[in-house]
Amino acid sequence: MIKRQRILITGQVQGVGFRPAVYRIATALQLSGIVYNNTNGVTIELQGQGQKITEFLVRLQSDTDKPPLARIKTCEAFDIPLVENEDKFLIRTSDSQGTPLSQVTADIATCRDCLSEMADEKDFRYGYPFINCTNCGPRYSIIKNIPYDRPNTTMSVFGMCDKCAAQYTDVTDRRFHAQPVACPACGPKIRLTDNKGKTIQTQTEKVLAETACLLLAGKIVAIKGIGGFHLAADALNNKAVERLRERKKRDHKPFAMMAESIEKIKQFAIVDGLSEQLLKSPQSPIVLLPKRKNSPIAPSVAQGVGTYGFMLCYAPLHYLLFEHDIDVLVMTSGNISDEPLICKNETSLERLGNVADALLMHDRQIFRQVDDSIVHCIEKEPVLLRRARGYVPTPIIIEQSCTEDIFAAGADLKNTFCFVKRNQLICSEHIGDLEDAEVYHHYIGSVEHLAKLFEIEPKIVACDLHPGYFSTQYANSMTSRKVIHIQHHWAHVASVLAEHNINGPVIGLVCDGTGYGSDGAIWGCECLIVSLEKFERFGHLDYYQLAGADKASKEAVRPALSLFKKAYGDKFSLREFDWLLNRIEPDKNKLQIISEQLEKGINCIETSSLGRVFDAVAAMLGLGNYNHFDAQLPMALEAIAAVDVEDSYKFDISFSPGQPCLFDPGMTIQGIVKDIKDNIEHGIISAKFHNTLAAALSAMAKHARQSSKLNNVALSGGVFCNRHLIDRLVKLLKEEGFDVLFNRQVPSNDGGISLGQAAIAANLVTKGLSITDSQ
Ligand SMILES: [Zn+2]
Ligand SMILES: [Zn+2]
């Protein structure tokens, strides 16, 4: 029987080649009708034999016919009246009744079809470093404006040749409407220059061969990729890597590496099934993998950590380069220190000329700089540590549509910002630390650009409670909008709620470096009762003093001295602890000054920071006494933690009526000091310390459950980037019967703050609640 059905599909179905796929299946089944993007997804109308329509629906969701990047969330079909004299199936550009939700999709690693064409001598794109199709290639990084059409991308300067144009306009072709489509005759080209900008080579094959030669000879080459420049060096050549460190002014932070196959990566690191999937995924992130013992990777690639960060080649250019006998490359962001990633040819010479010996450039402009994303695995699930290329701007979808557009400014460290548009939370890519003037400048430009790209006019602005944050000051300057200030750790837990699409309340356990508290103290280790409407502070790590504000997050001696004083009270003296303090701060004079500062409370602030406790313990074990980069000491402490240690230290949780319960770390510190004296292996001490924190947090959660009757626990905060701690804590909580939620799609560090702020603000707007600052 002939019938007509309307099919409504939601999910990731726009900008991923979905309509052409619908067209192909419908015409193959001799169905007539129409397909178009609507405000929530895709609408299809199909007319023909009922049985064929059923077959259509099966094929649309099958792996063979569904576009690789499409994700169908819901699919509803219902009968509608027949349309007479319809004999074709058509793709309509868009629904006239409203603009589609999001036309901008993420940059995607080169697909298998393109790779085989690139390797095929008979293909007209043989060996072409910019091959791409609807299923792969740059998107977000090349779009200047909407709608997402070629004239609005940085490909507009390249006129398509006849062959490319034929594919671009053929609905049955894999390159139908693939905006960056190009070939050697009509598209972008590569060239190799010296570090003064003088061209060395322009012929593609020779450019690649010479670049490989330079790298294998220990030179540093800046390579322009998808989201910006990388600085590349031979990862097996320690001298080259050390030279790169020196020139990039990056002394300690581990470098990411790239290889062309999983088999190659397995020679250097341990790759489990999930990690392999992630490495090979279209997003192609950097995956943190346990180091293999005696791996030949140059020691200075990643010192003081237990993992390597690896990614597979993800642009055609990478694959072509690796064909020239390259094993493994350091591929670190092309910038100096913590400045924004460099993506323009002009600035690359000026800024990277002193770092690189040569530059491998191309003439496809990168409009938005996007760093590589970083992922690790927790509880057999992928967890993002830095969300950027491949993941941005894919939105996080919430249940209820918000009536107002919202801008959430994020935090100052590891900044991201977030927009709310209807039921979408659209997070920006990792922007960086706003205290760097150039990063801050980039932040403001990015907010303005992305607001335009996503057609957002925020009436409500959410930001951190910290009055000194640049992001807060920026939000406050938007005077025509209503500004809401949200406590840092509330936002952390709210980011977990948003990801899991729940409103709470839940028990929130936050393990964090620092965040501005409602009482003016610096909070960090918190047990909160949290919903998207409000939060209550149930308990926290007992306050200790931090002397010397800014320096306190770098120098371990500051929290260490304060924690000793807390643990031993009057029994503590510099002389008595000389044997241990020597290791933490050899400068006796400095010890004296900080000690007096703490006693008199000069330039001191109260804190419950957990990150600083990690710093202190790492320094006590001689792992260093200074954070050259964020979390260096905590990472070093995690790296040495012995596995299979069940012991822990004593700790104390105390209650007083009407007050938050307090986790006192004094006994834990005493236990660690005793173990050091007794020459206990440091790996065991580290493991016992981790176990103690997990036990104390779990105990606080149990107390919170008793009084709140809640059984959901949400974990967030920067310290949960520590795998050892989160693994242990999740295990304990599950044993206690808790349902445990943690961040996966956004980082648990401050990169996730903007999502939490956005979710809180969106909930207030949707519920029509009064919008006031958090308590
Ligand atoms: Zn492709
Ligand atoms: Zn062409």
Q: Is 642 helix (H, G, I), strand (E, B) or coil?
A: coil
Q: Which contiguous run of DSSP H or E holds residue 762?
A: helix 753-766
CA distance 288 to 292: 12
Picking from 65-74, 92-101, 376-385, which range would have the lowest pLDDT averaged per residue? Answer: 92-101
What number is the average pLDDT over the span 437-446?
Answer: 94
More confident residue, 577 or 769: 577
Rounded Cα distance between 443 and 409, Å, is 10
22 phi and psi, to 5 degrees?
-60, -45
Cα-to-centroid distance, 232 and ligand 2 (Å): 30
Q: How far is CA 520 from CA 168, 514, 605, 606, 775, in A?
A: 59, 12, 9, 9, 11
Q: Write down the pLDDT at residue 771.
A: 62
Judged by its nearest atom, the ligand closest to the C-alpha of residue 164 is: 2
Long-range residue pairs from 238-246, CB within 8 A, at least 24 positions apart, any chain:
238/298, 238/299, 238/300, 240/298, 241/298, 241/300, 241/301, 241/330, 242/298, 242/300, 243/218, 244/220, 244/330, 244/332, 244/355, 245/300
Phi, psi of 503 (to 5 degrees): -100, -10
Contact 265, 279 (CB under 8 A): yes
Residues 6+ apart with CB under 8 A from 247: 220, 354, 355
513 C-alpha to center of ligand 2: Å?
52
Tokens of 299: 């020691």
Task: Provide the pLDDT for residue 570.
Answer: 87
| Tens of pLDDT, residues 709-766 | 999 999 999 999 999 999 999 999 999 999 999 999 999 999 999 999 999 999 998 8
594: CA distance to ligand 1 center in Å?
59
* pLDDT > 90: percent of the chain: 77
**Residue 394: DSSP 8-state:** P
pLDDT at 105: 86
Query: For position 254, what pLDDT does the model report?
Result: 93
DSSP tag of 53 = H
Residue 181 CA to ligand 1 centre (angstroms): 10
What are the CA-CA distances from residue 120 to residues 167, 184, 518 (Å)?
18, 14, 63
| 195 Cα: distance to centroid of ligand 2 (angstroms) | 31
| Count, residues in the chain | 775
User: What one-letter code names the amino acid at 762?
Assistant: A
**Residue-level pLDDT at 772:** 63
Q: Nearest ligand, CA of residue 128?
A: 2
Check: CB of residue 224 under 8 Å from CB of residue 333: no
Question: Looking up tokens 């609807």, which residue turns up?
Answer: 134
Measured in Å, residue 316 CA sits from the centre of ligand 1 at 10
As given in the structure block, the two tokens for residue 726 are: 């989160």
The confidence score (pLDDT) of residue 773 equals: 57
Our separate counts of H helices and E strands in the chain read: 22, 31
Q: What is the per-residue pLDDT for 400?
A: 82
Q: Is the pLDDT of residue 97 over 60?
A: no
Per-chain mean pLDDT for the chain = 92
Over residues 528-534, the mean pLDDT reads 94
Joined together, the tokens standing for residue 522 give: 């610096």
The answer to whether residue 93 scores a pLDDT higher than 90 is no
Residue with tokens 């050091």: 676
d(CA 387, CA 92): 34
Asked if 620 contacts 561 with a C-beta cutoff of 8 angstroms, the reply is: no
Region 350-355: mean pLDDT is 91
Residue 767 contacts residue 534 (beta carbons within 8 Å): no
> Rounded to whole angstroms, how far apart are CA atoms 342 and 536?
43
Q: Could you tell me the pLDDT band of residue 94, with boundaries at 50, 70 and 90?
A: low
CA 561 to chain centre: 34
> Interhelix angle for 666-677 vs 557-568, to 10°?
100
Tokens of 681: 């292996």
**CA of residue 596 relative to chain centroid, distance:** 41
CA of 118, nearest ligand number: 1
358-371 CB burial, b ≥16 within 10 A, e <16: bbbbbebbbbbbbb
Q: Is the pLDDT of residue 100 over 70?
A: no
Tokens of 513: 């470096």
Output the six-digit token pair for 350.
């000026």
Give the bridge partners for 606, in sequence order: 545
Q: Is the pLDDT of residue 313 over 80?
A: yes
Q: Which long-range contacts (CB under 8 A, 24 or more apart) does 159-164 make?
A: 159/186, 160/186, 161/185, 161/186, 163/124
C-alpha 720, offset from chain centre: 14
Residues 6+ apart with CB under 8 A from 618: 556, 624, 633, 634, 636, 637
Give residue 96's pLDDT: 47
Judge whether 649 and 690 are in contact, CB under 8 Å. Answer: no
Look at residue 103 in the predicted model and tell me its pLDDT. Answer: 66
Q: With the C-alpha atoms ordered 103, 105, 110, 111, is the resulting torsion angle positive or negative?
A: negative
Q: Residue 492 pLDDT more than 50? A: yes
Distance from the alpha carbon of residue 15 to the mean position of ligand 2, in angstroms: 22
Q: Which residue is it, tokens 């933490």?
A: 584
In DSSP notation, 543-607 reads PEEEESGGGGGTBTHHHHHHHHHHHHGGG--TTTTHHHHHHH---HHHHHHHHHHHHHTTTEEEE
pTM: 0.92
The pLDDT, as a whole number, for residue 162 is: 97
What is the reported pLDDT for 716?
Answer: 97
Mean pLDDT of 644-662: 91
For the stretch 228-254, pLDDT in tens is: 999 999 999 999 999 999 998 877 889
User: Ligand 1 centroid vs 111 CA: distance in angstroms?
Assistant: 4
Half-sphere exposure of 702 (CA within 13 A, CB side): 14
Per the structure block, which two tokens stand in for 569?
């009270």
Quote the CA–CA distance of 562 and 577 in Å, as a whole number. 13
The one-character DSSP state at 289 is E
Strands 535-541 and 522-530: antiparallel
Distance from the alpha carbon of residue 185 to the mean position of ligand 2, in angstroms: 5
**Model confidence at 774: pLDDT above 60:** no
Task: Report yes or no: 269 and 292 within 8 Å, Cβ to Cβ.
Answer: yes
Q: What is the average pLDDT across 330-338? A: 88
Position 664 confidence tier, pLDDT thresholds 50, 70, 90: very high
CA distance 61 to 13: 12
Nearest ligand (C-alpha, residue 136): 1
The number of the ligand nearest the C-alpha atom of 174 reads: 1
Map residue 311 onto helix, strand or coil: strand
Kindly give the distance from the C-alpha atom of residue 72 to the centroid of ligand 1, in angstroms, as a whole number.
21
- The radius of gyration computed from the CA coordinates of the chain, to the nearest angstrom, equals 28
Q: How far is the CA of 183 from the centre of ligand 2 (A)?
A: 4
Distance in Å, CA 492 to ligand 1 centroid: 37
Assess contact for 602 and 545: CB atoms under 8 A.
Answer: no
CA distance 685 to 679: 10
Give the N- to C-terminal CA distance of the chain in Å, as an integer: 64
Average pLDDT over residues 633-641: 93
Chain mean position to CA 328: 23
- Ligand showing the shortest atom-to-Cα distance for residue 115: 1
Dihedral sign, Cα of residue 210, residue 211, residue 213, residue 217: positive
Q: 3-state secondary structure string, 333-386?
A: ECCCCCCCCCCCHHHHHHHHCCCCCEEEEECCCCCCCCCCCEEEEECCEEEEEE
pLDDT at 186 (0 to 100): 96
Q: Give the ligand with the smallest distance to the CA of 183.
A: 2
Classified as helix, coil or strand, 463 is: strand
**Residue 37 vs residue 544, higher pLDDT:** 544
Q: How far is the CA of 161 from the centre of ligand 2 (A)?
A: 4
Beta bridge partners of residue 536, listed in sequence order: 529
d(CA 28, CA 534): 54
Mean of pLDDT values over 186-191: 96
Contact 605, 519 (CB under 8 A): no
DSSP 8-state secondary structure symbol assigned to residue 68: T
SS3 48: strand
